C-alpha cells in the first residue's frame, strides 16, 4: 500500500474534470417564452418573473412551473411573511411606466397597489417596510418607501434613479444611475452616498459586512466594510445583471454566464458547466439549489458550486486533514479539515492508481474548521485518496468505498 501512497504524492497533473461533476440542468417545464429576470420565495413556493409573460410559481424546486400572473415585465420580486410583491414595467422606452402588484394568497390572485409612477426596476422587503426603486430613461427617478406593507408609498429623492436594492438588517443599499451606491443605516430614513459614486449600478447583494455592486459597463465592485471603501477585481465581465452572496461564496450573472468567487470577490471562476457562456439575468438560492434565469430556468445543487461549509471560526494552531466519516462509506462520506491562517485551498479526490477523479474545492478560505461531502455514487467499490493542498501544507488520506 505504501507504493500507491508514494505514487499519489508524486503524481503531477492538469486538473480537468472527468465528467463526474454535475452540470446545470434546464428546468423550465411549464414556463412560457421570455427571459427569466427575477426570483423570490415565500414558504415552499418559488416565484419567477418572466419578461413579457408575467409570473410563474413552482412548489417542487423548479421541476415544473405554473402561471400565476399573465403578462407583464417582472423586473423584480420580493416577499415577506404575509405578501409577495412584483415590480411590473409597462410600455416601452421612452413612454415606459410601472406598477407594483401584490398577492396576499401566495400568488393565487394579484392586485395593483396605489403606486403609480416611473419604471420600477427594483423592489425589496424588510418586514412590512417595502422599498421600490424607479427610474426614467434619462436617469431620473426616486426611491419609494411603504411602511404599511405596500398600501401607501412615499417618495424619497437621493439624487438619481434607483436600479437595484439590497438589505442587511436595517442597512439598505441602493444602486443608482451613474451615482454609484447609496446607503441608509436607519431603514431608509436617511441616505448617504458611498465612495463608489460614479457608476451605473444595476445589481447589488450584501452578506454581513460584505457588499457587492454590479455595474452596467465596468464589472463588479466589492466592499468588505459595509461600503465604506471598494475594490475592483481585474475581471472584464462588462455588465453584471445579478449578484447573490452568502458566507461561503459570491456568484454573479454576466454576459458570459455565472462567475463564482470563494475569497470575497478577489478571484473569480466561470461555472457554466452544461449551460454555455450566455447572459444570465437572475440568480437565486433556495432549498439547497441555485437557480439561474435566462431564456428559461437552469438549476443545480448549491453544494456543487459551494462545496464547503464552515464548522467554526475558532482558529486551529496547525493545519489538519481528518479521516473521512463514515469509512468505509456508500456512497457519501464527509471530510473535515482545519486551517490556522487564511489561504488558498485545494481538496481533490484520486483513485488507487493516482488518477485524478474530482476537485471538491479550489478557492480561498479564512482560518477555521470546515467540512464537505464526497459522493461516490458514480464510482465503483475500491480504495480512493483525498488530498488537501495549501501553500505550506499538503496531506493525503485513504478512504474505502464499498457498494
Q: For 30-66, b where at least 16 C-beta lie within 10 A, e where not — what string?
A: ebeebbbbbbbbbeebbbbbbbebbbbbbeeebeebe
pLDDT: is 8 or 291 the higher one? Answer: 291
In the predicted structure, residue 146 carries a pLDDT above the cut 70 = yes
User: Any idea which of 155-159, 168-172, 276-280 has the lowest mean pLDDT?
Assistant: 155-159
- The mean predicted confidence, pLDDT, of the chain is 88
Q: Answer yes or no: are the C-beta atoms of 372 and 334 closer than 8 Å.
A: yes
In the predicted structure, residue 22 carries a pLDDT above the cut 70 = no
Could you give the CA distance from residue 138 to residue 161 in angstroms, rounded to a whole number?
Answer: 9
HEC string of the chain equals CHHHHHHHHHCCCCCCCCCCCCCCEECCCCCCCCCEEEEEEECCEEEEEEECCEEEEECCCCCCCEEEECCCEEEEEEECCCCEEEEEEECCCCCCEEEEEEECCCCCCCEEEEEEECEEEEEEEECCEEEEEEECCCCCCCEEEECCCCCCCEEECCCCCEEEEEEECCEEEEEECCCCEEEECCCCCCCEECCCCCCCEEEEEEECCEEEEEECCCCEEEECCCCCCCECCCCCCCCEEEEEECCCCEEEEECCEEEEECCCCCCCEECCCCCCCCCCCEEEEECCEEEEEECEEEEEEHHHHHCCEEEECCCCCCCEECCCECCCECCEEEEEEEECCCEEEEEEEEECCCCEEEEEEEEEECCEEEEEEEECCCCCCEEEEEEEECCCCEEEEEEEECC
In the predicted structure, residue 16 carries a pLDDT above the cut 50 = no
In the predicted structure, residue 14 carries a pLDDT above the cut 50 = no
pLDDT value for 311: 73
**In the chain, what percentage of residues exceed pLDDT 90?**
65
In the predicted structure, residue 1 carries a pLDDT above the cut 60 = no
Mean pLDDT of 233-241: 90
Q: Answer yes or no: are the C-beta atoms of 38 and 54 closer than 8 Å.
A: no
In the predicted structure, residue 207 carries a pLDDT above the cut 50 = yes
pLDDT value for 7: 33
In the predicted structure, residue 199 carries a pLDDT above the cut 90 = yes
Class of domain 309-401: mainly beta
Mean pLDDT of 292-321: 83
Q: Answer yes or no: are the C-beta atoms of 122 and 162 closer than 8 Å.
A: yes
> Which part of the chain has CATH 2.130.10.10?
25-306
Could you give the CA distance from residue 107 to residue 97 in angstroms, rounded to a whole number?
Answer: 23
Mean pLDDT of 49-73: 95
pLDDT band at 183 (very low <50, low <70, confident <90, very high): very high
Mean pLDDT of 385-392: 94
User: Which of 56, 49, 51, 52 is CA-nearest to residue 30?
Assistant: 56
Model confidence over 370-379: pLDDT tens digits? 888 888 988 9
Mean pLDDT of 336-363: 87
Phi, psi at residue 30, to the nearest 5°?
Answer: 100, -15
Architecture in CATH for domain 25-306: 7 Propeller (2.130)
pLDDT value for 139: 73
Which residues have CB under 8 Å from 103's CB, separation 6+?
Answer: 68, 83, 84, 86, 109, 110, 111
In the predicted structure, residue 163 carries a pLDDT above the cut 90 = yes
Which residues have CB under 8 Å from 118's CB, separation 6+?
Answer: 96, 97, 98, 134, 135, 136, 140, 141, 142, 161
pLDDT value for 312: 67
pLDDT value for 307: 67
pLDDT: is 46 or 364 the higher one? Answer: 46
Model confidence over 81-127: pLDDT tens digits? 999 999 998 866 666 788 999 999 999 999 999 987 778 999 999 99
pTM over 0.85: no
> Which part of the chain has CATH 2.60.40.1930?
309-401
Amino acid at each position: 500500500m505504501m507504493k500507491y501512497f508514494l505514487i499519489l504524492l508524486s503524481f503531477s497533473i492538469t486538473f480537468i474534470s472527468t465528467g463526474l461533476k454535475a452540470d446545470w440542468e434546464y428546468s423550465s417545464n411549464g414556463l412560457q417564452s421570455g427571459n427569466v429576470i427575477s426570483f423570490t420565495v415565500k414558504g415552499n413556493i418559488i416565484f419567477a418573473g418572466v419578461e413579457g409573460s408575467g409570473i410563474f410559481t413552482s412548489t417542487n424546486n423548479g421541476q415544473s412551473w405554473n402561471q400565476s400572473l399573465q403578462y407583464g415585465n417582472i423586473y423584480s420580486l420580493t416577499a415577506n411573511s404575509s405578501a409577495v410583491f412584483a415590480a411590473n414595467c409597462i410600455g416601452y422606452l421612452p413612454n415606459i411606466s410601472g406598477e407594483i402588484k401584490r398577492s396576499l394568497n401566495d400568488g393565487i390572485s394579484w392586485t395593483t397597489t396605489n403606486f403609480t409612477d416611473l419604471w420600477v426596476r427594483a423592489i425589496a422587503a424588510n418586514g412590512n417596510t417595502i422599498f421600490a426603486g424607479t427610474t426614467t430613461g434619462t436617469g431620473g427617478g426616486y426611491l419609494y418607501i411603504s411602511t404599511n406593507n405596500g398600501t401607501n408609498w412615499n417618495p424619497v429623492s437621493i439624487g438619481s434613479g434607483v436600479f437595484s436594492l439590497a438589505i442587511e438588517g436595517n442597512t439598505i443599499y441602493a444602486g443608482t444611475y451613474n451615482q454609484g451606491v447609496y446607503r441608509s443605516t436607519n431603514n431608509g430614513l436617511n441616505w448617504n452616498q458611498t465612495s463608489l459614486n460614479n457608476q451605473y449600478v444595476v445589481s447589488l447583494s450584501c452578506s454581513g459586512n460584505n457588499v457587492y455592486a454590479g455595474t452596467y459597463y465596468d464589472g463588479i465592485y466589492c466592499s468588505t466594510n459595509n461600503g465604506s471603501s471598494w475594490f475592483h477585481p481585474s475581471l472584464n465581465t462588462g455588465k453584471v445583471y445579478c449578484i447573490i452572496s452568502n458566507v461561503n461564496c459570491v456568484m454573479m450573472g454576466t454576459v458570459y454566464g455565472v462567475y463564482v468567487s470563494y475569497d470575497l470577490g478577489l478571484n473569480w471562476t466561470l461555472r457554466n458547466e452544461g449551460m454555455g457562456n450566455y447572459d444570465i439575468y437572475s440568480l437565486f438560492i433556495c432549498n439547497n439549489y441555485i437557480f439561474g434565469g435566462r431564456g428559461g430556468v437552469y438549476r443545480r445543487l448549491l453544494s456543487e458550486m459551494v462545496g464547503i461549509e464552515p464548522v467554526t471560526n475558532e482558529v486551529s494552531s496547525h493545519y489538519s486533514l481528518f479521516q473521512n466519516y463514515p469509512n468505509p462509506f456508500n456512497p457519501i462520506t464527509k471530510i473535515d479539515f482545519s486551517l490556522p491562517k487564511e489561504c488558498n485551498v485545494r481538496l481533490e479526490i484520486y483513485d488507487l492508481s493516482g488518477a485524478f477523479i474530482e476537485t471538491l474545492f479550489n478557492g480561498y478560505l479564512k482560518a477555521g474548521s470546515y467540512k464537505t461531502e464526497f459522493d461516490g455514487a458514480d464510482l465503483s467499490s475500491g480504495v480512493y485518496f483525498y488530498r488537501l493542498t495549501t501553500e505550506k501544507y499538503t496531506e493525503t488520506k485513504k478512504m474505502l468505498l464499498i457498494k
